[in-house]
């Protein structure tokens, strides 16, 4: 899972800075990056980040950003 989370972090930060946009869910009027064609069958680890986000929000709602969660999860998944 470490490689998948690191890849998500890279794709989130590489073009326009770390904003968590790769974690956006789609809606009726917007295609989110999670389901966008380039990510459809290649990006993985969204469920891990969603689980972490749910747990963080239960403890301290509105304090930690999705971009921060992704960065920390990616770091912790590849560092011994």
Active site residues: 11
Q: Is 25 annotated as a binding residue?
A: no
19 annotated binding-site participant: yes
Are 57 and 50 in contact, with CB atoms under 8 Å apart?
Answer: no
Give first-to-last CA distance, the chain, whole Å: 14
Residue 80 annotated as part of some ligand binding site:
no
DSSP 8-state assignment for residue 33:
T
Q: 57: annotated binding-site residue?
A: no
80: tokens are: 């011994």
Q: Is 17 annotated as a binding residue?
A: yes
User: Residues annotated in the binding site, as ranges?
Assistant: 12, 15, 17, 19, 21, 33
User: Residues annotated in the binding site for Ca(2+), as ranges?
Assistant: 12, 15, 17, 19, 21, 33
């Amino acid at each position: 899972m470490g490689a998948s989370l690191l890849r998500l972090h890279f794709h989130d930060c590489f073009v326009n800075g770390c904003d968590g946009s790769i974690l956006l869910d789609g809606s009726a009027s917007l295609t989110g990056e999670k389901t966008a064609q380039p990510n459809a069958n290649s990006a993985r680890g969204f469920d891990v980040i969603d689980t972490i986000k749910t747990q963080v929000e239960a403890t301290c709602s509105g304090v930690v950003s999705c971009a921060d969660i992704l960065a920390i999860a990616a770091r912790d998944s590849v560092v011994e």
